[in-house]
Chains A and B, each alone.
Chain A
Amino acid sequence: MAKVKRSPWLLHYDGSSCNGCDIEVLACLTPVYDAERFGIQNTGDPMQADILLITGGINAQNQAVVKQLYDQMPRPKVVVAVGVCACTGGVFKDTYNILGGADTTVPVDIYVPGCAARPQAIIDGIVKAVELFQMHMDNHEEFLKNPDEYMRKNHPEVELKKGDE
Chain B
Amino acid sequence: MIDILIRVIIFLVAAPILGGLLDGLDRIISARMQGRIGPPLLQPFYDVSKLFQKQTIAVSKSQSLLIQMFFFTQIFTGCLFMAGFDIMLCFFILSTGATFLVFAGAVTHSPYSSMGASRELLQMLSYEPAILMTCLGFYLAAGTFKVEELVLSDYSLIVYLPGFFVAYVFSLTIKMRKSPFDLSTSHHPHQELVKGITTEIGSRNLAFYFITEWYENIFLLGVVALFIINKNPWSILAAVIVVLLICFLETLIDNTSARMKWDKMLTLTWIVTLVSAGTNLLVLMLIK
A contact set with B: CB distance below 8 Å = 3-4, 6-7, 12, 31, 34, 36-39, 42-45, 47-48, 50, 72, 74-76, 137, 140-141, 165
Q: How far is the CA of A6 from the CA of B39 in the complex (A)?
A: 10
Q: Mark B179-215, 1 if CB is under 8 A from A, else 0.
A: 0000000000111001100011111001000000000
**B residues near A, CB below 8 A?**
27, 31, 34-40, 43, 45-47, 49-50, 53-57, 189-191, 194-195, 199-203, 206
Residues of chain B within 8 A of A6, CB atoms compared: 40, 43, 46, 50
Closest to A1 in B: B53
User: Is the CB–CB distance between A36 and B36 below 8 Å?
Assistant: yes
Q: Are A37 and B37 in contact (CB under 8 A)?
A: yes
A4 surroundings in chain B (CB, below 8 A): 46, 49-50, 53
A43 CB contacts on chain B under 8 angstroms:
189-190, 195
Q: Is the interface of B mostly helix, strand, loop or mixed?
A: loop
- Once A37-B38, A39-B40, A45-B199 are accepted as A-B contacts, the answer to whether A74 and B31 lie under 8 Å apart by CB is no
The 10 closest A-B pairs by CB, nearest first: A47-B202, A44-B190, A75-B55, A74-B55, A31-B35, A6-B46, A7-B46, A34-B36, A7-B50, A43-B189
Contacts of A137 in B (CB 8 A): 53
Q: Which of B36, B40, B206 has the most CB of A within 10 A?
A: B36
Instruction: Quote the shortest CB–CB distance from B17 to chain A (angstroms).
Output: 16
Give the complex CA separation of A34 and B45 in angstroms: 20
- Asked if B53 contacts A44 (CB within 8 A), the reply is no
Residues of A within 8 A of B37 (CB): 34, 37
Q: Is the CB of B57 within 8 A of A47?
A: yes
**Known contacts A31-B36, A44-B191, A45-B195; A74 and B203 CB within 8 A of each other:** yes
A-B contact pairs, 30 of them (CB 8 A): A3-B45, A3-B50, A4-B53, A6-B46, A7-B43, A7-B49, A7-B50, A31-B36, A34-B31, A36-B27, A36-B36, A36-B38, A37-B38, A39-B39, A39-B43, A42-B190, A43-B189, A43-B195, A44-B190, A44-B195, A45-B195, A45-B199, A45-B202, A47-B57, A47-B202, A48-B202, A74-B54, A74-B202, A140-B53, A140-B55
